[in-house]
């Protein structure tokens, strides 16, 4: 490796250290961190690989370090702990030479002006090399080590999916493909595939989501032909199925009740531009991003954006009921851990009670806004039953609601794991873990 390339890797390691420290010390989300990042492209790929890899295997790496660190580090020294996580990750999973992983980990202590820790970092990482087989044998039966998830999450998935939970945990630790949605108002899939081929990007159509293309290799969105002109958007294939279940028709009055980040709002308008769409989002910052996306796609005049709490009807509702309602409700997001491995660190078992309660409140509130004969689509990016099939079963028991599934040509290809609605597991048909259920209000 020449000196310039080596310097890039050192800088990338330092960037990944800053990012990882923000996650484990300050509780920041990866999405938020990367949204405000201005990393040189030459450093970005390796830095992100280090960040995502160390988070993906955080619980496994932590179990290893628990065997090696005699005295817990202080809160103010969690950056040193992050260096150790990155060091063990490189030694265990990356093809970088061991001596480089060791020397650069030690160098990071100097770069953050904590030279006192050089010996500590060097000693712990070398001990890991020496004791590797002993540590692995000692931890081999611990599920947290095996699957690199918190124990509570493993236990909950085992209760919900006793036959499948191990495969779910394994799938959560895989990388998710980059999936894009073609704007059918501006291009066909075949035409856009040709545009991708012209710039050397390989992709294929999706078996279920008819507007989706799966890229063979992820790339920067600005490398996609016509991205800034609104030809494509990034959206997982599972989330794209929502518009099919909405059964959109011209002239319908439609509500997107939890609109951020805006993928489904824009997909609704691209699939059926002749609807009267209202999109509600509680966060002004996230609503502004939806507005920017609408402008990029040149459909900003087709949607009423409301910055409000969906539950506070007096703040946004005009009293006119809707023909179609989509609520992609706040959830645990355990179905998208492949894309957001920091969820495994941030989400707590105690969160679920409040999440499920909020989902039920939103569901009951917006049901009153639906016209008789209208259709509501409930969606989450979770694979916990209580948020999905359980939530629907409780609602149907207490309300006059008739569940509906996707159109037969799509539904018969699905591998739904739910008796009510459609539960998708992470990785199935190259999709995220996702749940969607349609409910029709009796006329």
The two tokens of residue 339 are 């894309």
Question: What distance in Å separates the CA atoms of residue 362 and residue 151, rounded to the nearest whole number?
Answer: 30
Secondary structure (DSSP) of 51-119? HHHHHHTHHHHHHHHHHH-SSPPPGGGHHHHHHHHHHHHHHHH--S-HHHHHHHHHHHHHHTT-GGGHH
DSSP state of 378: E
Rounded to the nearest 5°, which phi and psi values hold at 2? -75, 170
DSSP state of 274: S
CA of 413: how far to CAs of 260, 263, 403, in Å? 29, 24, 19
The two tokens of residue 87 are 């060091």
Question: What distance in Å separates the CA atoms of residue 422 and residue 411, rounded to the nearest whole number?
Answer: 9
Question: What distance in Å separates the CA atoms of residue 49 and residue 234, rounded to the nearest whole number?
Answer: 20
DSSP state of 218: -
Residues marked active site are found at 381
CA of 410: how far to CAs of 104, 167, 253, 326, 415, in Å? 51, 24, 25, 19, 10
Q: Of 249, 425, 267, 269, which is closest to residue 335 (Cα–Cα)? A: 425
């Amino acid at each position: 490796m020449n000196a310039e390339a080596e310097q890039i890797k050192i800088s990338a390691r330092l960037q990944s250290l800053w990012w990882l420290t923000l996650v484990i010390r300050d509780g920041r989300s990866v999405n938020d961190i990367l949204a405000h990042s201005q990393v040189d492209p030459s450093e970005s790929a390796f830095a992100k690989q280090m960040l995502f890899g160390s988070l993906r295997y955080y619980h496994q790496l932590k179990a290893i370090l628990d065997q090696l660190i005699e005295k817990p580090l202080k809160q103010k020294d969690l950056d040193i702990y992050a260096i150790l996580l990155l060091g063990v990750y490189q030694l265990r999973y990356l093809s970088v030479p061991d001596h480089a992983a060791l020397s650069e980990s030690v160098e990071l202590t100097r770069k953050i002006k904590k030279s006192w820790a050089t010996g500590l970092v060097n000693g712990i990482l070398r001990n890991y090399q020496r004791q590797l087989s002993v540590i692995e044998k000692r931890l081999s039966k611990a599920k947290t080590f095996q699957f690199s998830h918190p124990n509570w999450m493993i236990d909950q998935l085992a209760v919900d999916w006793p036959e499948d939970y191990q495969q779910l945990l394994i799938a959560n630790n895989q990388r998710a493909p980059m999936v894009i949605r073609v704007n059918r108002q501006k291009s066909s899939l075949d035409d856009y595939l040709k545009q991708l081929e012209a710039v050397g990007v390989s992709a294929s159509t999706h078996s279920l989501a008819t507007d989706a293309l799966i890229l063979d290799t992820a790339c920067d969105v600005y490398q996609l032909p016509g991205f800034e002109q609104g030809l494509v958007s990034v959206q997982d294939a599972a989330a794209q199925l929502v518009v099919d279940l909405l059964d959109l028709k011209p002239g319908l009055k439609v509500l997107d009740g939890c609109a951020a980040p805006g993928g489904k709002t824009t997909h609704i308008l691209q699939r059926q531009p002749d609807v009267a769409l209202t999109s509600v989002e509680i966060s002004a910052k996230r609503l502004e991003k939806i507005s920017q996306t609408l402008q990029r796609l040149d459909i900003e005049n087709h949607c009423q954006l409301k910055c409000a709490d969906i539950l506070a009807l007096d703040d946004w509702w005009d009293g006119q009921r809707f023909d179609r309602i989509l609520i992609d409700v706040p959830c645990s997001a355990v179905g998208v851990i492949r894309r957001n491995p920091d969820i495994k660190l941030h989400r707590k078992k105690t969160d679920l009670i409040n999440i499920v309660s909020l989902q039920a409140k939103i569901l009951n509130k917006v049901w009153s806004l639906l016209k008789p004969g209208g259709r509501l689509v409930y969606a989450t990016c979770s694979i916990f039953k209580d948020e999905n099939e359980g939530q629907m079963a409780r609602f149907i028991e207490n309300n006059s609601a008739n569940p509906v599934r996707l159109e037969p040509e799509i539904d018969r290809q699905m591998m739904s794991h739910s008796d009510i609605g459609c539960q998708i597991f992470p990785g199935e048909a190259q999709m995220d873990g996702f749940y969607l259920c349609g409910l029709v209000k009796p006329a």
